[in-house]
Structure 1
Amino acid sequence: MSAIRCDLCVIGAGAGGLSVAAAAARLGADTVLVERGAMGGDCLNTGCVPSKALLAAAAAARAVRTAGRFGIGAPEPAIDAAAVYAYVQAAIAAIAPHDSRERFEGLGVRVIAAHARFTGPDTVMAEGAAIRARRFVLATGSRPLVPPVPGLDTVAYLTNETLFAGSTLPGHLLVLGGGPVGVEMAQAHRRLGARVTLVERATLLPRDDPELVAVVRSTLEAEGVTLIEGTGVARVAPAGDGDGDGVAAELADGRRISGSHLLVAAGRRPVVEDLGLEAAGIAAGPAGITVDARLRTTNRRVYAVGDCTGGPAFTHAAGHQAGIVVRNALFRWPGRADRIALPRATFTDPELAQVGLTEAQARAARDGDVTVLRQPFAGNDRARTEGAPEGLVKLVVRRNGRILGAGIAGRHAGEQIAPWCLAIARGLRVHDLAGVVLPYPTLAEAGKRAAGAFFEPVLFGPRTRWLVRFLARFG
């Protein structure tokens, strides 16, 4: 058995692990990276990248289909499913070199393609080698949560790990789950020509502001996605006579639906099993690995980042946490992870993006010290010229003008949320955003107008009007 000694050992080559390993190596730390699967993890191979590529293909089909509203005649688009999936794989291949073993070895990282398992508080076994490091970082990610629905083990079903590997599109896709993955893939497949039925036991995008979710819901329904909210799936089975090929589902309310394919998009669960965590004194459970504000586990030599901690399952969250860990592990600088300014976005069309507190969260936390500002996209000139007036900017602020939260449902909301992330991270107030000069016409002006609405009751109120009339007497 060989022995490896290093400064830092990172387990998992997804977004968080790669960020830690790259930064550590470039800072001069002797770094080992262990990954048993594909470099790049879920985000590159089965998550963010392929899903956004599929959404882009679907948006192209939608653009052709709706070109007539601009006076441009176009036939119904012909969908070449094999070419669509080839485009998705090409997008992965184009980004893969950035996450590749060759790149990281070029940075000085020793990459080991093997399963890693702790055998003690300061030792990990991988590929027959005992790795002893001053610090370890767990970045093992998450995998699709498969709910205990009776009969699910009797049917073929898709998850994000298998959805993008096909070459044909579903005839009728049943989507189990109305979170971001469920709604994005429902819209993408509908735009590519499939019939789609989405079942969500609660409400669509249940973690987001209902007023903003309503914008997304209305668009999905207008495009032909069948939404079933407020009831779950009681059981599934192979489709029988009269249902055609595929899957039949009985809902909790007694209704029966069937489709050619079933996509399970019911959430994620942290990967924490078979890592020898007990041998290392690392506490973990179904919700993930236990960490403190500095992302240290119960073993002070070991940190954890990303989905395996049970926190927000976002690539950008893992990247933020990676920076915190590098500061703590290498510089012993007690940085802490910040969730207040952590944004999230659902890349439907229109997109939905939020940062900070929702209206409901702010009212619960602030006991009435809350003002809500709204600006519909229908009043934005750029949205009108692009034929995309659906949407809303919604700001949640304190009475003193400090910004508590921002939400946008509309075109390019994921891009437009950026200044509001800065505002919340830096404790800015609405006058800081209302006074910014923006180019015209841009969608971002909707946010500025929402911020400016905070001052309208005073600016255009009786006292100001009296002052204007009074000053007019002096010429």
Structure 2
Amino acid sequence: MLTADICVIGGGSGGLSVAAGASQMGAKVILCEGGKMGGDCLNYGCVPSKALIEASRNIYHLRKSAKFGIHANQLEINFSQIHQHIQKVIETIEPHDSIERFESLGVKVIPNYASFIDQKTIQAGSYRIKAKYIVIATGSSAFIPPIKGLSDVPFLTNESIFDLTEKPEHLAVIGGGPIGCEIAQSYALLGTKVTLLESTKHILAPVEKECREVAISAMKAAGIEIKTNLTIDEIAINSDNDQALNIYYQQDDSEQLLTASHLLVATGRTANLDKLHLENAKIQYHAKGININAKLQTNQKRIYAIGDIASAFQFTHMAAYHAGIVIQNILFKLPAKVNYNSFPWAIYTTPEIAHVGISFDKAIQMGATVLSFPYKENDRAVASLETRGLIKVAVNKKGYVYCACIVGKNAADLITPWTMMIANKLKIKTMASLIIPYPTLSEINKRIAGSYFTPILYGNKTRKLVQFLLKWF
């Protein structure tokens, strides 16, 4: 039997943030993790995917280099070395999330999955843990859709695709969300034939329409065949080649067949709840996660839930944000609540997509003015041959920003000033008045902010005022 101030269930991004922070602030913390420390992000998600994406972007830049007068005539892709690069990146970051590091911070780490015995007691391996507070941070896993034959054929998810040491000949990707699109484009740039299958009308559905079209155009330019608005009926081993898969689907009222060498299933995420035995603690939950309030408390007030199991925004930085809310509530008794109005997210296609704030549809319904500025009018973008992209910002009549979306080079970095604007309720004149180094991509933020004032500055009233002042003073 062990006792603790806080028992954290799950050693992914959110759980590790709570454990490290609380322990260093003086709390007695026990962390239970039956899988790999670092969770999905380190081992199967953010870290390996970005390593793969950066490898593929080198191909993109090499192919673009001819326009600069630099000709890379011999282009050789060693996929085994790319796999080694991905594993090396994981290994480099791994010590930061290791059991040894967390024990050095004073956290008791139990390498077993945890389940509830009651509202205050956890079972993890041979240990029973009594904790004053419990934080559930078990994350999510790849959702496997109920497609006929899928369970009988070999397929990949984000948990297995980074283990490939040879380049697939033809990769079929089911799912047009962030994971599916990032991996599909990476493999296409690396020379794999890629077909992307999406059941709805659009891939990248949450992205603002005009920004989405830029990203789709880039994906098609990379050689991806995109098929949308379809229904997959069955998947089976090819009868003529047992190394290939047949995907039978319906599109536009006709039956279609796609044959591919590899299949990636990227149809969303499902909350990891099955091992928890939540019913023993009478914790309320639903199909997509655990019921929580704005303080991230479950219906049992001393039990919290964070990360993928507590939000529709399934991002690593959301889990880290949740961890901060929980620490404020548990350790400092502050009534901290979540607020997603200034929550940013990014999709690491090439070019990148980034968004912060409410949706543009909602902003327009609220009477916002939508501003737009293209990358092609930015001098640094022209010099870098990175003119594919644009920024859009929705602003209300008083000059406050509702949301921003950027598609283009370094979009994930360029969104940060808009996050700060919305979070601190700053008017757009703050961005317009900034002094920004020239030439930088950051100027797109200043230029679009300045465009908000163009109708006023160059209108008839201003002209008449200037003429009056010049005449009489």
Give TM-score scaled by structure 2 length.
0.97
Residue 413 of structure 1 is matched in structure 2 by 411
Counterpart pick for 2:143 among 118, 142, 145: 145
Q: 1:117-174 CA distances to partner (integer Å, 9 max, x unpaired)? A: 1101100011211100100000000000111111111211000000101211110000
Compared CA separation, residues 437 and 232, structure 1 to 2 (3 A): farther
AA partner of residue 217 (structure 2): S
Deviations 1:267-306 (CA, angstroms, capped at 9, x unpaired):
0010111212111111112110111100001111110100
User: Residue 304 of structure 1 aligns to which amino acid in structure 2?
Assistant: A
> Equivalent residue of 2:173, what SS?
strand
Matched residue SS, 2:440: coil
Other-structure match for 1:5: 3
Deviation of 1:237 after TM superposition, in Å, equals 1.3
Once the two structures are TM-superposed, the CA of residue 76 in structure 1 deviates from its matched residue by 4.4
Q: Name the residue aligned to 1:438.
A: 436
1:320 and 2:308 equivalent?
no
Deviation at 1:234, TM superposition (A): 2.3
Deviation readout 1:73-102 (Å, 9 max, x if unpaired): 112421111100000000000111111111
Q: Is the 1:199–1:232 Cα contact (8 Å) retained in structure 2?
A: no
Residue matched to 1:70:
68
**Pair 1:334 & 2:332 matched:** no
Per the TM alignment, residue 61 of structure 1 is displaced from its structure 2 partner at its CA by 1.8
Distance 2:232 2:444 in 1: 40
Query: What is the match of residue 53 of structure 2?
Result: 55
Amino acid at match of 1:158: L
Distance 2:265 2:157 in 1: 5
Q: Contact 1:306/1:315 (CA < 8 Å) preserved in 2?
A: yes
Which residue identity does 1:401 align to in structure 2?
A: G
Query: Shift of residue 244 of structure 1?
Result: 7.5
Query: Is 1:249 matched up with 2:250?
Result: no
Q: Is the 8 A contact 1:270 1:310 kept in 2?
A: no
Quote the Cα distance in structure 2 between the aligned partners of 1:276 and 1:181: 29
Counting aligned pairs with the same residue, the percent is: 41
Partners in 2 of 1:223 and 1:120 — Cα distance?
Answer: 53
Residue in structure 2 matched with residue 199 of structure 1 by the alignment: 197
Contact 2:176–2:198 under 8 Å retained in 1: yes
| Deviant stretches of 4+, over 3 Å | none
Q: Secondary structure at the match of 1:33?
A: strand
Q: Deviation of residue 411 (structure 1)?
A: 0.3
Between the aligned partners of 2:311 and 2:337, the Cα distance in structure 1 is: 16
Partner of 1:275: 276
Native 8 Å contact 2:79 2:165 kept in 1:
yes
Q: Which residue of 1 aligns with 2:237?
A: 238
Unaligned runs of 5+ in 2: none
Q: Does 1:166 align with 2:164?
A: yes
The TM-score, its normalising length taken from structure 1, stands at 0.97
Offset, 1:175: 0.5
Aligned to 2:357: 356
Matches within 5 A, 1:395-414: 395-414=393-412
Structure 1 counterpart of 2:228, one-letter code: E
Determine the C-alpha separation between the residues in 2 that align with 1:102 and 1:378.
50
Name 2:221's counterpart in structure 1: 222
User: Is the counterpart of residue 95 in structure 1 residue 93 in structure 2?
Assistant: yes
Specify the alignment match of 1:16 in structure 2. 14
- In structure 1, the residue matched to 2:212 is 213
Q: Distance in 2 between matches of 1:396 and 1:119?
A: 49
Return the letter of the residue paired with 1:274.
K
> Deviation at 1:311?
2.7
Let me know the Cα RMSD of the aligned residues.
1.1
8 Å Cα contact 2:13-2:41 kept in structure 1 = yes
CA distance in 1, matches of 2:134, 2:262: 41
8 Å CA contact 1:178–1:265 kept in 2: the answer is: yes
Deviations 1:386-415 (CA, angstroms, capped at 9, x unpaired): 001000010011111110000000000000
Whether the 8 Å CA contact 2:391–2:404 is kept in 1: the answer is yes
Where structure 1 has 5 or more consecutive residues not aligned to the other structure, the ranges are none
Other-structure match for 2:302:
301
> Number of paired residues?
469
Task: Report the 3-state secondary structure (helix = DSSP H, G, I; strand = E; otherwise coil) of the residue aligned with 1:373.
Answer: strand
Specify the code of the residue in structure 2 equivalent to 1:186: A
